[in-house]
Structures are given as structure tokens and as C-alpha cells.
A and B are shown apart, each in its own frame.
Chain A
Amino acid sequence: MKDDPIARVLDDLLKLDDILACMVARRNMISVMPSGEGFKPEVNNIWDSIHRAMDSVFGVIGEYSQIGLGEMEFRLQDHEVLFYVFPDTESALVAIVPALANKGLLEVEMENARREILKIMNPEVKTE
């Protein structure tokens, strides 16, 4: 896992204070997680609920990513879950952040991570 370049991108994201968890996932499956200690402890109490809700969102992503669905998000209790969809796939970069986080700043780094992962997945893809 430590040599996985996508995991390294996730490691970078998870170092940001307000990213409590991040992963590359699709419905019923987490494809890549950060290589280190996993998610931050704040997420533990709510992870089961968020995980169930995520699967429902992935149903929508699976249905609409082909026609350009780019991002989704939902708020559950004191957390928000951000989905950055990889174009034309059923997979997304997912991050769990506190509801009161400065989301605009996090979104910039989410977008950078999505672009980096896209390049890793398909080096020929031009993301800019």
C-alpha cells in the first residue's frame, strides 16, 4: 500500500487538519485508503452511518457520472462528506470534513488531488 502513488496523494490530503478521512471509493467498495494510520479518530463514532449514506450517494454517481456529474456532498450531523467524481466512472475521491470547516480552501486541494489521481490512473489524460 505504501508504494501506491494514489495512497500517497491521499496521505497528503489527510495531513490537512480538516480532512478527517479520505479515500478513493465506489459503491460497496473502498478502492484505496491512505497508507498511514487510516482515518482520524473523530470519524470513528459516525463512520458506520456515513458509510451507509455514502453507498446511497454512489448509486446516484453511478447513474449520472456519464452525463457529467462532477461533485456531490451531504451533511450528516456535524460532518460533511465531499465526493469528487472521476469523469465517466462510478468512482470518486471522498473526504469527510467537519461541518464548520473552511470548505472552499479544502475544495481546492480536493480538486488538486483528483487531478493527480486522474494522471496516475491514466497518464495520457490532460487535466488542465
Chain B
Amino acid sequence: MQELEQIRKPLVDQPTGTLPDASKKKEIPVRPDPDVEAAIGMSRKWDAREAGREVAETAIKKLTRPPDFFVLFSTIHYEKYGGFQELLNGVWDVLPKGTPLIGGTVSGFTNNYGCYTRGTTALAVSSEDMDVAIGYGKNTKRNPKHAAQQCAQMIKEKLKDSTYENKFLLNLISASIMPNIPTIGRRKIVRSGMSTKLLLNLFGFSQYFFQKGYGRDDEVLEELIRYLPEYRMLGGGTIDDGAALRNYQFFNKDVFTNSVVSLGIKTNHRLDVKTTHNMKKTGIEFNITKTSNDGRIIHEINGKPAFSEFIRLLGWPSDFLNEKNWFKTNYFFPLGFRVNKEFEEFSPRLLGGIFGESFITIIRSKDPKTVILTIDGRSLLKAIDDNLNTFPENPAFGLIASCTTRLETMGDKTYRSRDHILQYFGESPFIEFYVGGESTYSPNKGLTFVNMSFNTAVFWNKN
């Protein structure tokens, strides 16, 4: 077993040239505490192996004991600069053997150092009052229930003897991937040229045989909850840089695709999860009247072809939704649906594409009542305050699954969003990782799986 003492020496010699200057001057964020130690690692190096080493070194060098788990996030760039296996090899050059590791690709991340859409970051945590297990399940797009069952069983089995009362599960699930349909390519909007029925058939074929299609994250989550209902959960869909062409999950020394990887924790430390989005209703409402069997394709609204009725309700010309302004229109006017029919709160759901008159969505429709939501920059920031202000002060560490649309919408103003997060976390380690399709679950609040939201898991010390 590689001991921490053994790896300390190279840390001094290791060049940190690609780390931001701030991190050279600043101490690595760490939460020294008799109960729990947490630290954030980061690398901006281009070479995958070197970046892997650096992210592990910077994360664990301030811990006084080996980490109990290691959560790794990376942007997609390392695919071209050595590959993700090399990134993990670099991490394992440094990380003590046997440390439970999960992670995945994200479009970007914010942490105690700054905001980045290129690089890798990690959270390492060590605690004497924490039992940890990791699990995985493959083929989430083909058989999400089976994948979730396998993953949940691994967690359950490994933690069965733990007596700690507070339970947490971090779930990273391969998000939707745009299928490459012949003659259509990967366009988001296909209004003519091929019959909608044929297109949708090809989409279904791609989903099953190539696992390029919907993430089916919600089905994975529902099954995880069925097996582990007493856990609080935070989840996110692993993605690339917005193209939705590929994404990867990390599990110990392996790189997976189309999989779920989970980190299960039982602990004495207090913890909680929360989702906020701060979307506002536009006042435009409609009923979804015809969908595909799985509820992910909306064919008709108000009894009329979906696309035509949608733009009529919004008062948009028919060519207004196009590839060029897709982000500006789609992201600012998501569909609002009720997560729970008993509540009037409407949560955002993005359109994934338009085939003919039909809308492709990532989250299933279970309730016909829909409103069109909207948001502005200030409201995006307020969602952070609304979320974090509900928690007690002085967190030990936190993980935040934030929708990539928030990052893509705010752009360089993401630094303002980080300022709001820092108001709560201060020097306590945190990572906000940007994903596609994010969720929280708690036994008392149920599952919230939405788009365009801000989702937190915060841990405190025992007392």
C-alpha cells in the first residue's frame, strides 16, 4: 500500500506551472478538524497523466491521514491529451491504493480556486466517523433498472454492517448522447426532409443498439431510491463540452461509458441535500395531450401538433427556433412541469431537440399540465442564495451538481455565481460540477430530477 508519507516528497519537487497563480500563493483549501478533513485538488495541465498526478497530489497533500474517498471530475479535453485511462493512471500514481474513487466528465467546475471549463478537480475526504462504499452499473441507456440494481446492491452489501445513521449517495450517470442519424447528423432541429416516424424509429434503434440517445437517468434514480430509500442523494449526468457526443464515468481504476457510478457514505456527520432553480412562470400554460409511450417525446399539446402550437403560444415566428439561437431561446424558456402532482411548483425541463412537430425531452412527462418558464441572470444567482441560506453555517465540505445550462448561460459571469457560493462556504472545500440532468433526493422531500437547477449536498461536523 502506498503511504501518504511516501508521496509527500515528490509533491515538493513537482512543478505546478499550469496551476493558476492564486493556488501557488494560497493554501490548498482544506478543512482541518478532528472529525473530518476535506481538501480540493486541481490541475490545469494538458497532459492527462500529469494532470492526474497533480489533481491527486494537490487534493491529498494536506490531509493528515489517507482519504476515505476521492471524487474526481474532469472536462472532456483529456480525451485528446492522453485519454481518461491515463488521467486515472496519473491519479493512481499518487492516490493510496484502495481509496474508493468515483467520478466523471463534466462541462466545467467551480471550486475554491476559481471557475474552469478545462481541467480536472477532485475532493478528497478523510474521517474517522465514516464508512464508504462505491458501486456501479453498466448499460444505463439500454437497461437502466438493471444497472441501478447492480449499483445499489454493491453499496448495500458493503455498508450493511455500518452502524452510522446518516446516509448519503452521490450518483453520476451517463447523460444523453446525440445519436448520429444518417443524412441528419447531429442537428437539434429537423423540421423536414425525413418523416418524423422514421426519424423516431431510427432514434429508438440508436438508443437500444448503440446506447446513443436518452440518458434515462430518471429511471436509474427511481430504482436506486427503491433499493436505498433511506439515503439522501445528489446526482448529475456526466457530459462533454455541450456537444452531447460522448461522456465518461470513473470507477476506481476503470473508465466506463453508459454507466452509473455511486459513492455511498454512512456517517455520524450531519448532511442534507437541496434543489433550487428560481424559475418564474411566464403565464403561458398548456396541456400535453399526446406523447410517446415513455413520455419523452411530446407529439401534441392542446390537441395540436406540438411545435406549431408551442411557437403560436409564445408568439414566435416559425423560424425563430433554429440551430444558431438554440441556446438563447431554449435555455431561457424551458418547459415547466410538476415533479409531484400534489404541488403547484413547476420545475424546468429542456427540449433536447425538435423532430418534425415533435419535441424530444430528456425528462419524462408524467403530468399533462405544463407552463413555460423563464429566468434572468439575477434569478440564476438568487437560486444559489435560496439554496445555501437554508443550511446551518460552517459546513465541513460540499458538493454541488449544477446544470451545464447555468454555466453556458452565465459564461464568464460564473465568477459572480462563485462569489455567492463563497459567501456560504468561505474557506470550506467545495466543488460545483456542471452536469446535464441533476437531482436530489431525501426521504422527506422525495426525488427532484430537473434541468437548469442548483443542487447541493452539504456536510457538517458532528456537533
Which of A12, A15, A100, A111 is packed against the most chain B CB atoms within 10 Å? Answer: A111
Top 9 nearest A-B pairs (CB, nearest first) are A107-B411, A104-B408, A111-B412, A102-B242, A104-B411, A107-B412, A105-B117, A108-B117, A108-B115
Q: Per-position contact with B for A101-128: 1 when CB-CB < 8 Å, else 0?
A: 0111111111110001001000000001
A84-B412, A119-B21 are known; give 14 further A-B pairs, CB within 8 A: A15-B46, A16-B118, A99-B324, A102-B242, A102-B327, A103-B408, A104-B407, A105-B107, A105-B407, A108-B407, A111-B115, A111-B411, A116-B21, A128-B22
Report whether A102 and B408 are in contact in the complex, using a CB–CB cutoff of 8 Å. yes
Q: Per-position contact with B for A1-30: 1 when CB-CB < 8 Å, else 0?
A: 000000000001001100000000000000
Which of A16, A103, A104 is packed against the most chain B CB atoms within 10 Å? Answer: A104
Task: Determine the chain A residues whose CB is within 8 A of the CB of B327 once the complex forms.
Answer: 102, 104
Task: Determine the chain A residues whose CB is within 8 A of the CB of B411 once the complex forms.
Answer: 103-108, 111
Rounded to whole angstroms, the CA-CA distance of A87 and B327 in the bound complex is 29
Rounded to whole angstroms, the CA-CA distance of A106 and B118 in the bound complex is 9
Q: Across the two chains, which residue of chain B brings its CB closest to A70?
A: B412
Task: Determine the chain B residues whose CB is within 8 A of the CB of A12 once the complex forms.
Answer: 18, 44, 46
Task: Determine the chain B residues whose CB is within 8 A of the CB of A71 once the complex forms.
Answer: 412
Q: Per-position contact with A for B14-31: 1 when CB-CB < 8 Å, else 0?
A: 000010111000000000
Q: Does B241 contact A (CB under 8 A)?
A: yes
B29 vs chain A, min Cβ distance (A): 14
Among the listed B21, B77, B323, B414, which residue makes an inter-chain contact with A108, where contact means beta carbons less than 8 Å apart? B414
Interface residues of A (CB under 8 A from B): 12, 15-16, 71, 84, 99-100, 102-112, 116, 119, 128
Q: Per-position contact with A for B73-86: 1 when CB-CB < 8 Å, else 0?
A: 00001000000000
Rounded to whole angstroms, the CA-CA distance of A106 and B108 in the bound complex is 11
* Known contacts A100-B323, A110-B412; A128/B114 CB under 8 A: yes
Task: Determine the chain A residues whose CB is within 8 A of the CB of B20 once the complex forms.
Answer: 112, 116
Report whether A106 and B117 are in contact in the complex, using a CB–CB cutoff of 8 Å. yes
Rounded to whole angstroms, the CA-CA distance of A104 and B410 in the bound complex is 7
A-B contact count (CB 8 A): 61
Task: Determine the chain A residues whose CB is within 8 A of the CB of B18 once the complex forms.
Answer: 12
B407 vs chain A, min Cβ distance (A): 6
Q: Across the two chains, which residue of chain A brings its CB closest to B22?
A: A128
Rounded to whole angstroms, the CA-CA distance of A42 and B445 in the bound complex is 52
Report whether B324 and A105 are in contact in the complex, using a CB–CB cutoff of 8 Å. no
Interface residues of B in 380-422 (CB under 8 A from A): 407-412, 414-415
A87 vs chain B, min Cβ distance (A): 14
* Known contacts A100-B323, A100-B324, A116-B21; A108/B242 CB under 8 A: no
Report whether A112 and B114 are in contact in the complex, using a CB–CB cutoff of 8 Å. yes
Task: Determine the chain B residues whose CB is within 8 A of the CB of A99 once the complex forms.
Answer: 324
Q: Does B332 contact A (CB under 8 A)?
A: no
- Could you jot down 13 A-B contacts, CB within 8 Å? A16-B118, A100-B324, A102-B241, A102-B408, A103-B408, A105-B408, A105-B411, A107-B412, A108-B115, A112-B115, A116-B20, A116-B21, A119-B21
Q: Does B116 contact A (CB under 8 A)?
A: yes
Task: Determine the chain A residues whose CB is within 8 A of the CB of B117 once the complex forms.
Answer: 105-106, 108-109
Rounded to whole angstroms, the CA-CA distance of A119 and B19 in the bound complex is 14
Q: Across the two chains, which residue of chain B brings its CB closest to A11?
A: B46
Task: Determine the chain A residues whose CB is within 8 A of the CB of B410 once the complex forms.
Answer: 104
B51 vs chain A, min Cβ distance (A): 13
Rounded to whole angstroms, the CA-CA distance of A100 and B414 in the bound complex is 20
Q: Across the two chains, which residue of chain A brings its CB closest to B81?
A: A15
Among the listed B21, B22, B44, B409, which residue makes an inter-chain contact with A104, where contact means beta carbons less than 8 Å apart? B409
Rounded to whole angstroms, the CA-CA distance of A105 and B115 in the bound complex is 10
A74 vs chain B, min Cβ distance (A): 15
Task: Determine the chain A residues whose CB is within 8 A of the CB of B115 once the complex forms.
Answer: 108, 111-112
